[in-house]
Amino acid sequence: MKNVDYLIVGGSAAGTTAAEVIRGIKTDASITIVSDESHEQYSRVLMPHYVRHKVNREQVFLKKPDWYSQKNIELVKGVKAVLLEPKSHRVKVSNGSEYQYGKLLIAIGGDVIKLKVSGSDLENALYMRTIDDGDEIIKVAKASKKAVIIGGGFIGLEFCSCFRANGVSDITVLVLEDYYWQGKLDEASSKVLTNTLEKNGVKILVNEEVDNFQPKRGPTPSGVEPLNDVVGAIQTKSGRKFGADVVGVGIGIKSDLSWLEGSGIKINRAIVTNEYLETGVSDIYAAGDCAEFWDVIFERQHIMGNWANATSQGLVVGKTMSGNRTVFETASSYSINFFEGSCTFIGVTDEKFADQIIVRGSVENQKMTQIFIKSIGGITRIVGATVINSTADVSPLTSAVKGKIDVSASKNSLSKSDFDLRQINR
């Protein structure tokens, strides 16, 4: 068993950032990062840019091997935590090693949710999460003409751009819901988004649930038979069949928290923490995609599954673990560009949380913004926004959310296209 002052499970944005902060404060402490990745830290934000050939592979990596040695931070790659015993301050990992920690940070991020239907284990059925996934997407897409994408969300948009950048001409997106990104966007906002996709030759088919994946077939001496273990078609439950050389699956991510069973750590949608990212179990903290933290801006438990948030939480939890207890306070904002379009989510965009949703823009103008309004502590505030193809709206709305601005005087003007949103922050 190895004794370590700070054990960090997860080597991506939150975990590595926290380790760096701790090292800056605790110069003599022992720090170990245990990561299920086989690489040093790289940027999940830059990874799709690499797949689209906007940056080279080396530029995706944020830390080189010598960074860890220079910082005296031990990085253990390719292993997962499998058991936590809080009373004895012990963590067991998948290679059989055990660590006794002084303080533990859980920053494991999320794993892709695998589509489990017949044939879904065929080759060329791809996911987008790791740099190795990116390598495989480039290799397969370059040899493909026809792609099917399963899922209507961020990853679906990334697959559209990545497949096209690698020469795939025929792209079809299968969406389970009534329209693209239902539950996150209203129907008009979705229409603005899908208009951009369709303008670029992407076909969107809604209310289609995948039934099975089928292998490529071709002539053999005994007739038409499966040629290999490579996907050749997607069959949906409506009875439709779509030929495919490559399939991109983007149906969500979820943290594997099974190793925390019996630990006493409270788990809801993710690991529940307070505003300091403390779990409530002594000397155990959580940050990044796997943390459901108390949000002091919106006064509710909140999960933010994006890179910027994970980095920010790493900065805060590193200070707290080092003895400088720090509140995590931010309004998340994350964006994606696809073809000539853009989509940004700011703050809390849950219609059940908001008192009112104000719509700005139109399908005809190919710009649409939803502004989420809620009264908190007697103040009428903007708590979130979704912004499609209207980049000028992003900065003032983000500032209003972060600043907890009272918008009661300007609320009735927010829907007017000629109203300058910068006025709400003056």
Res. 347: pLDDT tops 90? yes
Q: What is the pLDDT of residues 274-324, one digit of tens each?
A: 999 999 999 999 999 999 999 999 999 999 989 999 999 999 999 999 999
Average pLDDT taken over every residue of the chain: 96
- Tokens coding 405: 């601005």
Q: What is the DSSP string of 66-124?
A: HHHHHTTEEEEES--EEEEEGGGTEEEETTS-EEEEEEEEE----EEPPP-SBTTTSBT
Indicate the DSSP class of residue 167: T
- Tokens coding 281: 């179990």
pLDDT reported for residue 50 = 99
Beta carbons of 313 and 287 less than 8 angstroms apart: yes
Among 153, 167, 195, 194, which Cα is nearest to 336's? 153
Detail the DSSP E strand segments found in 269-364: 271-272, 284-286, 291-295, 300-302, 333-338, 341-347, 356-362
Beta carbons of 244 and 148 less than 8 angstroms apart: yes
- Residue 294: partners with Cβ closer than 8 Å, 6 or more residues away: 273, 274, 275, 300, 301, 302
Handedness of CA 9, 12, 16, 18 (dihedral sign): negative
Name the residue ranges covered by the structural domains of the chain: 2-110+255-322, 125-249, 335-423
- Tokens coding 1: 């068993």
Question: First CA to last CA across the chain, in angstroms?
Answer: 58
Q: Domain 2-110+255-322 falls in which CATH fold?
A: FAD/NAD(P)-binding domain (3.50.50)
Beta carbons of 240 and 210 less than 8 angstroms apart: no
Beta carbons of 4 and 30 less than 8 angstroms apart: yes
Q: What is the DSSP string of 177-194?
A: SSSTTBTTB-HHHHHHHH
Q: Helices (DSSP H) in 143-261: which residue ranges?
A: 154-165, 187-199
Q: What is the pLDDT of residues 380-406, one digit of tens each?
A: 999 999 999 999 999 999 999 999 999
Establish whether domains 2-110+255-322 and 335-423 are of one fold.
no
Beta carbons of 289 and 255 less than 8 angstroms apart: yes
Backbone angles phi, psi at 135, to 5 degrees: -60, -45
320 exposure class (CB count in 10 Å sphere: 0-12, 13-18, 19+): buried
Give percent of the chain with pLDDT exceeding 90: 95
Give me the residues paired with residue 352 across strands.
Answer: none
Residue type (1 letter), 7 = L
Residue with tokens 């560009």: 337
Asked if the 125-249 domain carries CATH number 3.50.50.60, the reply is yes
pLDDT reported for residue 305 = 87
Res. 22: pLDDT tops 90? yes
pLDDT reported for residue 426 = 76
Res. 224: pLDDT tops 70? no
Res. 41: pLDDT tops 80? yes
Taking the C-alpha atoms of residue 232 and residue 408, their distance in angstroms, rounded to an integer, is 56
- Tokens coding 205: 């088919």
Name the CATH architecture for the domain at 335-423: 2-Layer Sandwich (3.30)
Confidence of residue 207 (pLDDT cuts 50, 70, 90): very high
Q: What is the mean pLDDT of residues 87-114?
A: 98
Beta carbons of 107 and 288 less than 8 angstroms apart: yes
Distances (CA, A) of 403 to 200, 261, 354, 397, 399: 38, 39, 17, 10, 6
Rounding to the nearest 10 degrees, give the CA dihedral for residues 332, 394, 50, 175.
80
Taking the C-alpha atoms of residue 174 and residue 336, their distance in angstroms, rounded to an integer, is 20
Res. 187: pLDDT tops 70? yes
Taking the C-alpha atoms of residue 13 and residue 317, their distance in angstroms, rounded to an integer, is 12
Q: From its phi and psi, is residue 361 left (phi > 0), alpha (psi between -120 and 50) or beta? A: left
